[in-house]
Structure 1
Amino acid sequence: MADKTVLITGATGNLGRAVAESFLKEGARLALVGSRKESLERAYGGLAAEHLGLAADLGDALAAAGAVAEAERVFGRIDAVCAIAGAFEMGGAVHEAPPELAERMMKANVATMVNVVRAAVPGMIARKSGKIVTIGSTAALKGTAGMGAYTASKSTVMRLTESMAAELRGSGINVNCVLPSTIDTPENRAGMPKADFSKWVKPVELAAVIAFLCSDGASAMHGALVPVVGLV
């Protein structure tokens, strides 16, 4: 990944930081997108000047386009997009959940991804080269009680990934999706203190798969939904 530019959304989260670290080791230039400047500075304040921090509400199409345009202005191009920004909420039964829950899940998990790729893909098409990795979920392979809004949003990400892969494969662009199970994060440990953490997938393990999907080694992969589940 030396001399390549990778744009990472959700860069201040557990997975975003692990993905950034993976690409730093490979010599990539990073455009790191988070929701707030302060959180970007806390996570990446020591990074060298060749990398770029961008604060933007990716649920807003204009803000997402602005972040992508700034990354392209600074680096000249975006070679890979890791669309990691997202959120999870339980919601009770579908008939009881407030409509705002579905709206939040679709904005956090779908709109943030679509707004970024909408802005980044034209440049990739012009260069006939690009990698896009999205984040689905093994939980979204079927409907699950109490998780309707979340699984619907992640299922939408997976179907859009497949659609984009079919649309863009002739343009030299690879679009693939990783499907993690429970990720071993401090927040998940706090929320499920009795679980066996050793079986959960580690952020660094998931980051390694994402990095591979952005590499030349994955050039024959289009529309793959790749389970990354640890020992679950």
Structure 2
Amino acid sequence: MNGKKVLLTGGTGGLGMGVTPLAAARGADLTVTYRYSEEVDRLKQKMAAEDFSKIQFVKIDLLDESAVKQLIEDMGRIDGLIHLVGGFAMGATAEYSYENWKKDFDLNLNTTFLTCKYSLAKMLKQGYGRIVTVGSRGAVEPGAKLAAYCASKAAVVALTKSIAAETRGTNVTANCVLPSVIDTPANREAMGTEEAQKWVEPESLAEAICFLASEAAKDLRGAAVPVYGDV
């Protein structure tokens, strides 16, 4: 990834704490989006000062189409998109509010669509690009009380595969990873730590993501890579 200009959304979140340091260490020129400054501060504590100083941080609402378009235009060239933004929610379908359903699709699917749309347009003009999205095990193995989450993540997988089909014959690729439970502080707080040793560490998932975002992954198109840990 040395010298590649990469847009990394959600790079200050739980998964981003694994992906951002690795992408920076592999030489990527990172633009990282964020919502809350305290998340940037936590990332700074984890990263080497030299790598952290090379990152451009942009505070943005990724549901604002004009802002997303401007962000990608301002980057000049964009060699890679790693889209980590997303969220987990659960509730019985018969009791789940329509408002929450729409919020889940906004967070998981619509942010993915907007970042992919404008990144893809520029990549096709350049003749090079790597798009990596994050689905979920739930996208292919839906569970009870997870209808909105699983459906929105399944849509992310479908979107990614559609982009892969559209970019055949080019040097632009699109792939996604399907994590099971990720070992983040938020998940430990919500689910306890009894099974945490079986979960996927952010740093492990980062290895798969950064490979898919690299030149070496030129022959992988439309893959949905399961990264389940020991669960």
Q: Report the TM-score, using the length of structure 1 for normalisation.
A: 0.92
Tell me if 1:9 matches 2:47. no
Q: Say which structure, 1 or 2, has more relative contact order (CA 8 Å, 6+ apart).
A: 2
Deviation at 1:126, TM superposition (A): 1.0
Of 69, 73, 82 in structure 2, the residue corresponding to residue 69 of structure 1 is 73
Give a deviation string over 1:125-176, Cα, whole Å, max 9, x none: 1111100000000012133211101001000000111111000122211100
Q: Which amino acid aligns with 2:56?
A: L
The 8 Å contact of residues 44 and 52 in structure 2, kept in 1 or not, is answered as: no
Deviation at 1:193, TM superposition (A): 1.4
Give the equivalent residue in structure 2 for 1:60: 64
Give a deviation string over 1:106-138, Cα, whole Å, max 9, x none: 000011111111111121111111000000000
The 8 Å contact of residues 165 and 176 in structure 1, kept in 2 or not, is answered as: yes
Give the equivalent residue in structure 2 for 1:195: 194
**Is the partner of 2:75 in helix, strand or coil?**
helix
Deviation at 1:25, TM superposition (A): 1.1
- Map 1:14-33 to 2 at 5 A: 14-33=14-33
The 8 Å contact of residues 64 and 115 in structure 1, kept in 2 or not, is answered as: yes
Deviation at 1:48, TM superposition (A): 5.2
**Is the partner of 2:11 in helix, strand or coil?**
coil
Give the equivalent residue in structure 2 for 1:84: 84
Deviation at 1:191, TM superposition (A): 1.1
Q: Report the TM-score, using the length of structure 2 for normalisation.
A: 0.93
The 8 Å contact of residues 36 and 56 in structure 1, kept in 2 or not, is answered as: no
Question: How many positions carry a matched residue from both structures?
Answer: 227
Q: Which runs of 5+ in 1 are unaligned?
A: none
Q: Which runs of 5+ in 2 are unaligned?
A: none
Deviation at 1:217, TM superposition (A): 1.8
Q: Which amino acid aligns with 2:197?
A: S
The 8 Å contact of residues 181 and 200 in structure 1, kept in 2 or not, is answered as: yes
Q: CA RMSD in A?
A: 1.6
- Map 1:54-133 to 2 at 5 A: 54-72=58-76, 77-91=77-91, 93-133=92-132
